[in-house]
């Protein structure tokens, strides 16, 4: 069987599916002639943006979604206020949520606002409340996990972008754009997932 691998930049306010009750709000905004058997690996919430991996390779889907095969996913979160060192350490050690303690993560402040396309609509602006951008790299994928983690340590997320999945990043993509993975990327990605080429 021939497998296809793509990455896409999911825009804000779009559902991670190819069809639904309101087609204008689905991944039909990705103007690309996907084969019928190509689907997103995992999901991003409607109010989150960023990297989606799409494929018809069920082995990749299984390795990426099964909790026993952890993989790094880096999120850039714009949060209310400036996170303290104590808050960042708390995120790294694990945060107690209603569904249990999160696994250790990597967390650090970004050196400024990352070069991302503006969100449409933009986040609310309040002059008396500063914001900051942080990088949070997780190896698990609970529902709305980043938002719940930052809120639990006192710094609610205003904008959330998945920047990276293992070696794959959003670099060079704009919201709604899709590109095919290169043979070199596919090989390296499968090696990371310990899959045969």
Query: What residues are labeled active site?
Result: 45
Looking at 3.40.50.2300, 3.30.70.580, 3.40.50.1820, 3.30.2010.30, the CATH number of the domain 5-67+168-192 comes to 3.30.70.580
CA distance 122 to 115: 15
Six token digits for residue 195: 């899959």
Closest CA relative to residue 186, chosen from 60, 85, 101 = 60
Kindly state the DSSP code that residue 35 receives in the 8-state scheme: -
- What pLDDT does residue 65 have? 87
Q: What confidence tens digit (pLDDT) does each residue in 71-108 have? A: 999 999 999 999 999 999 999 999 999 999 999 999 99
Domain 73-165, CATH homologous superfamily name and number: Alpha-L RNA-binding motif (3.30.70.1560)
- Say yes or no: do domains 5-67+168-192 and 73-165 share a fold: yes
Six token digits for residue 185: 């990327």
Q: What confidence tens digit (pLDDT) does each residue in 30-50 have? A: 777 888 888 898 888 999 999
Q: What confidence tens digit (pLDDT) does each residue in 107-150 have? A: 999 999 999 999 988 888 777 889 999 999 999 988 899 999 99
CA distance 59 to 55: 10
Six token digits for residue 119: 């969100």
| Total number of residues shown for the chain | 197
Instruction: Count Cβ atoms below 10 Å from residue 120 Cβ, excluding itself.
Output: 9
Strands (E), 1-105: 5-10, 39-40, 49-55, 73-80, 96-97, 100-101
Q: Domain limits of the chain?
A: 5-67+168-192, 73-165
CA distance 14 to 88: 30
Q: Which residues contact 22 (CB under 8 A, 6 or more apart)?
A: none
Closest CA relative to residue 105, chosen from 77, 64, 127, 125 = 77
* DSSP H or E segment with residue 133: strand 131-138
CA distance 131 to 3: 42
- What pLDDT does residue 137 have? 97
Q: What confidence tens digit (pLDDT) does each residue in 157-169 have? A: 999 999 999 999 9
Q: Which residues contact 104 (CB under 8 A, 6 or more apart)?
A: 92, 93, 94
* DSSP H or E segment with residue 160: strand 157-165
């Amino acid at each position: 069987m021939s497998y296809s691998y793509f990455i896409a930049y999911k825009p804000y306010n779009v559902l991670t599916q190819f069809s639904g009750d309101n087609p204008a709000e689905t991944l039909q905004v990705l103007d690309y002639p996907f084969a019928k058997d190509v689907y997103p690996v995992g999901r991003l919430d409607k109010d989150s943006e960023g990297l989606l991996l799409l494929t018809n390779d069920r082995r990749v889907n299984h390795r990426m979604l099964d909790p026993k095969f952890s993989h790094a996913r880096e999120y850039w979160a714009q949060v209310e206020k400036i996170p303290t060192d104590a808050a960042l350490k708390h995120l790294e050690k694990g945060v107690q949520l209603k569904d249990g303690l999160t696994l250790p993560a990597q967390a650090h402040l970004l050196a400024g606002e990352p070069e991302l396309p503006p969100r449409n609509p933009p986040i609310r602006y309040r002059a008396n409340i500063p914001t900051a951008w942080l990088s949070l790299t997780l190896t698990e994928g609970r529902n709305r996990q980043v938002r719940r983690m930052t809120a639990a340590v006192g710094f609610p997320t205003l904008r959330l972008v998945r920047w990276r999945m293992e070696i794959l990043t959003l670099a060079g993509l704009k919201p709604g754009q899709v590109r095919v993975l290169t043979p070199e990327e596919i090989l390296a990605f499968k090696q990371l997932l310990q899959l045969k080429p």
